[in-house]
Amino acid sequence: MSVGFVVSAVGTHNIPESVRALSSLPDIDYADRFTLSADVDATPEQWARAMFGDVPSVAELLIWRGLLGLRLSRGRSPATVGGWRIGERGEDWIRLEAASWFLTGNLLVQTADGRVSLGTFLHYGRRVGHGVWPPLSGIHRRLIPGVLRDAAARIRASR
């Protein structure tokens, strides 16, 4: 895999069980995972902050809070990334968590062997989740490779 190349897997059955097991969701209705080969080294939390910042951007607020109704933290905190609560972490991963009245989400950032991966896992708590997320998921899948590449550029520039 060359540097800057992004590969993806979409669908719960296409994500390795070892990765799905890091989710906090009881059932996963939607899953995807994008992996970037990167020439920069950073911790999973540094990658997550490079992707999503300390607080959500205006665009993220529009999508996450406006369209998905996610309850996000408003201020900077060592316990949150981009408004998402840090649910748990390991040596090579960090899981961000947020919920709305109709769905619960996890963002999983993993690092290993010169690669960084971003996984999105959703559980629809109510029927409306099945209607809201599928149209947005196509946009999400088009945006994530750029999110990963931009994060690598931010980390590279900060060194």
- DSSP characters for 17-49? HHHHTT---SS-SEEEEEEEE-S----HHHHHH
Name every residue whose Cβ is closer than 8 Å to that of residue 133 and which is 6 or more positions away in sequence: 30, 68, 103, 122, 124
106 near 25, Cβ under 8 Å? yes
One pLDDT digit (tens) per residue for the chain, 159 residues: 556 778 888 888 889 999 999 999 999 999 999 999 998 999 999 999 999 999 888 888 888 999 999 999 988 999 999 999 999 999 999 999 999 999 999 999 999 999 999 999 999 999 999 999 999 999 999 999 999 999 999 999 987
Domains and CATH numbers, the chain: 6-158 (3.30.530)
* Confidence (pLDDT) at 3: 60
* Confidence (pLDDT) at 92: 97
* Confidence (pLDDT) at 111: 97
